[in-house]
Structure 1
Amino acid sequence: MDDGSRPRRLFLPPVLRAPVAGRTWREFGYLLLSAPISAVLFAYAIATISLGAGLLITFLGVPLLAAGLAGCRGFGALERARARGLLRVDVADPAPVRGRKSGLMSWVGAVLKSGVSWRHLVYAITHFPWAVSAFTVSVTFWVSGWAMFSYPLWQWVFPGHLDQPGIALYDDTGGNGIYLDSPFEIGATSAVGLVLVLASPWVIRGLTCVDRLMVTGLLGPSRLASRVSELESDRGVVVDTAAADLRRIERDLHDGAQARLVALAMDLGLAKEKLTEDPEAAARMVDEAHGEVKTALRELRELARGIHPAVLTDRGLDAALSAIASRCTVPVTVEVDLPARPAAAIEGIAYFTVSELLQNVSKHSGARRASVDVWQTDGRLMLQVTDDGRGGADSAAGSGLAGLTERLDAVDGILAVDSPAGGPTTVTAELPWRG
């Protein structure tokens, strides 16, 4: 007991936990099922593809070949489900086959042109010999290990025969055999069995690693399709971000500078009317209008700076980030070490990323000081903003950090947040050097 109320947990090293771990039994079950399933899949693939190829000289060959490939895709769905359940490998389903037009022949053509369908066929043919080999190795290790490890038990339950104690491991035609009947031999057998039992989980894991590679490489969507899907998602994020920025600019113009300019026009109109009747009142109104003009100009400058600051275009990240730091409510040190200027789009994203992070420092961190570091490494632009505030920032909590993560992800960037409770907080952003 640790404190008189909680029991102390027994700690076992991984090598001792592995033989009884759930992962080991799941992976062993996967290998056991692979042999019969792959045999059926192999026989189906060979039969249907051979029949379809043999009948290509007739009209029936092409649809039979497409049907065989479609059946392999169906088996692929079973294999992906089995990998998810037993190997904990989340393999995305490939895009369904769709013909350009409706009709059987359009579907047949789409199946035959689909690289995913042919990769399923390759899996059906190549997985069978591997599944049989993995089944043989895993069962041999597993059964031999447990049998030898438990030898003292079943040697005692099933005593020796042929006028000699012990169990015969070998018996030739002359009746002579090798018997394990002495304590040393029984103990050595059990020790060897223990080694095999402890080694079996790692052998099984090594075998299932090959299965993982085959399932993800042959039964999942192609890299090109995954990349296209990722780019479509990123495009949606970029469009949504641009629309949100436009709405923000429109709102700022409508509620800020536009409203002030409308009021200014009205004030100048009243001043014009009073110019002959009450020159002093007209002068006061013109003076107030002058102040409104200054305020409107300041708001327009801030809005223009929010769209794309002129200092960033003219002097680069060093000067632009220093300008941001000077407006922060806490002291900020800026260190920029770049051999050249990155792409303009990447430079703008880096600027707004640091601006957003420093706003978070001002509003939420309670920090006394912060720092901004920018450098280049391996063709990537690195940004790091650190503060000594209270910490607890989380990009998964739906805050502004989540929006930054989506914006960076749209250009193949990465945002990493390290913010333990109590601080300090370090946010690191990685961007491509060229967009």
Structure 2
Amino acid sequence: MTGKAEDLEDLNVTVATHLLARTLTRALRATGRGVALLATAALSLVLFIATTLATAFLLLGVGVLLVPLVTTLVRRLTGVCRALAEASGVQIPTPYLPPLPAEPGMVGWVQRCRSILTDPATWRDLLFLLLNVVVGFALGLLPVTLLVYSLEGLLLSAGFWMLMRESGVNFWYGLTPMDTWPHAALGALVAVVAFAIWAASAPGVVAGHAHFAAALLGPSERSRIASRMRHLSETRSDVINIQATELRRIERDLHDGAQARLVAIGMKLGAATRQLRTNPDVAETLLVDARNATAAALEELRCLIRGIHPPVLAERGLEDAIRAVALESPLEVDVTVDVPGRLAAPAESAVYFAISELLTNVAKHADADRAGVDLRHEDGVLRATVIDNGQGGADAANGTGLRGIERRCASFDGTLVLSSPMGGPTIVILELPCALY
């Protein structure tokens, strides 16, 4: 019984130590971000003045050159503030309207200047700079001040007050004169309270600045619509290119495969017709060759049809189609599916070909012997996860395969996330928003 009580006590101590270390780590990181906020507050003041002067100089013509330059610096600073907000758990999408094509020379500078000045996010950035001088300074300074104040009290209470009295300095910590050990103990208590307040409040204070930044640096409705239109335009172009590539592949396969075999069959049948009366044995051989060529052409047409839209996908659904791909793979593939329904045919086709290509890439390039496919539908999103035990090091920027899959998913507002450290494992997650029926 005593042993169990001691084990429980050790467990409680371990949990308390872990929670304390986690709290202190979060508070230290938040204080570091507070120091960064102090720097952004100082830069905000400089850039606010610079932007105001550059805008005023538009009347003199010089502002046409200065506004784009200063705006670039402003947007870099606001980008830093978005990164700090993201570290506090607040995501702030980029709000700027897509840049319009600009002509070279002075005309281009005027066009860029006009584009900047007509973007609502530019003026919201300017308001953020003005307010961040006060808000960023206050919220960034508070965690730093609390930490320094508490550490100062702990150092004084540990005996530094005696050194200061020997130097002839009467020092007060808070409302307590640091002249005797009882007063030093009271000062230590105040320092511990200040330290606890710092540890508890620092992350929240810095997160408050993140929400303040989100209110001004987030996208407006106009920029959301413009971003959406740009995304639709890009994905539509990608879809058209993918369709054109598929049509060219089908045309090439028909021309080089089935069409060539059908021409050969016609020639063999013609030769057999000419040999039928004079040399029946040769005619029979030609007919057998023609029959074999017909079977080969039929198999090529079936393969081509499977490449366009596999019959198993249309007849039995995505789960059975993925299992069929897994069975045909040279790897040992584990398939887990939790999709209680059917998707729209275009979405099913996109997921099927994406997973099929990923497994093909694993077999060719990953040096793996096992792979896994997990397919599930939750909260209106289809998530497909493909993992292998290969050598890793995959990079979407170094090949067209993953980029093609990414574009295919983007046409359905989907995303592709790749994790492939050297040595493996490689994990690819596809997410497509879609409904079941």
Q: Which residue of 2 aligns with 1:167?
A: 171
Superimposed CA distance per residue, residues 210-238 of structure 1 (whole angstroms, 9 cap, x where no aligned partner):
44455566457644454445445544544
Distance 1:334 1:413 in 2: 21
Report the CA distance between 1:117 and its aligned residue: 1.7
Report the CA distance between 1:123 and its aligned residue: 1.2
Distance 1:31 1:425 in 2: 37
Which residue identity is paired with 2:153?
M
Q: Is residue 2:131 matched to residue 1:126?
A: yes
Q: Which residue of 2 aligns with 1:301?
A: 302
Larger Rg: 1
Which residue identity is paired with 1:342?
L
Q: Which residue of 2 aligns with 1:242?
A: 243
SS at match of 1:277: coil
Distance 2:80 2:433 in 1: 38
Q: Which residue of 2 aligns with 1:253?
A: 254
SS at match of 1:411: coil
Q: Which runs of 5+ in 2 are unaligned?
A: 1-17
Q: Which residue of 1 aligns with 2:187?
A: 189
Q: Which residue of 2 aligns with 1:396?
A: 394
Q: Which residue of 2 aligns with 1:113?
A: 118
Superimposed CA distance per residue, residues 170-215 of structure 1 (whole angstroms, 9 cap, x where no aligned partner):
8xxxxxx952222243244245435545754764544443444555
Residue of 77, 84, 87 corresponding to 2:75? 77
Change (3 A) 1:106 1:349: closer
In the TM superposition, 1:166-315 aligns within 5 A as: 167-168=171-172, 179-190=177-188, 192-193=190-191, 196-197=194-195, 200=198, 203-215=201-213, 218-219=216-217, 222-235=223-236, 237-313=238-314
Report the CA distance between 1:296 and its aligned residue: 0.3
Report the CA distance between 1:354 and its aligned residue: 4.5
What RMSD in Å do the two structures reach over aligned CA positions? 5.1
Change (3 A) 1:325 1:80: closer
Superimposed CA distance per residue, residues 299-332 of structure 1 (whole angstroms, 9 cap, x where no aligned partner):
1011012101345445644665566567567798
- TM-score, with structure 2 as normaliser: 0.68
Q: Which residue of 2 aligns with 1:174?
A: none
Change (3 A) 1:394 1:371: closer
Report the CA distance between 1:133 and its aligned residue: 2.5
Q: Which residue of 2 aligns with 1:13?
A: 21
How many percent of aligned residue pairs carry the same amino acid?
31
More helix by share: 2
Distance 1:139 1:242 in 2: 58
SS at match of 1:150: helix
SS at match of 2:276: helix
Distance 2:333 2:128 in 1: 60
Q: Is residue 2:155 matched to residue 1:157?
A: no
Residue of 134, 142, 145 corresponding to 1:140? 145
Change (3 A) 1:212 1:60: same
Which residue identity is paired with 2:122?
S
Moved more, 313-322 or 374-383: 313-322
Report the CA distance between 1:298 and its aligned residue: 1.2
Which residue identity is paired with 1:37?
L
Q: Is the 8 A contact 1:69 1:117 kept in 2?
A: no
SS at match of 2:389: coil
Distance 2:319 2:98 in 1: 49
Change (3 A) 1:155 1:65: same
Report the CA distance between 1:338 and its aligned residue: 3.0
Distance 1:333 1:226 in 2: 37
Q: Is the 8 A contact 2:261 2:297 kept in 1?
A: yes
Q: Which runs of 5+ in 1 are unaligned?
A: 1-10, 53-58, 171-176
Q: How many residues align?
A: 401
Q: Is the 8 A contact 1:148 1:192 kept in 2?
A: yes
Change (3 A) 1:371 1:42: closer
In the TM superposition, 1:327-406 aligns within 5 A as: 337-339=339-341, 341-356=342-357, 366=369, 376-383=377-384, 391-392=389-390, 394=392, 396-397=394-395, 403-406=404-407
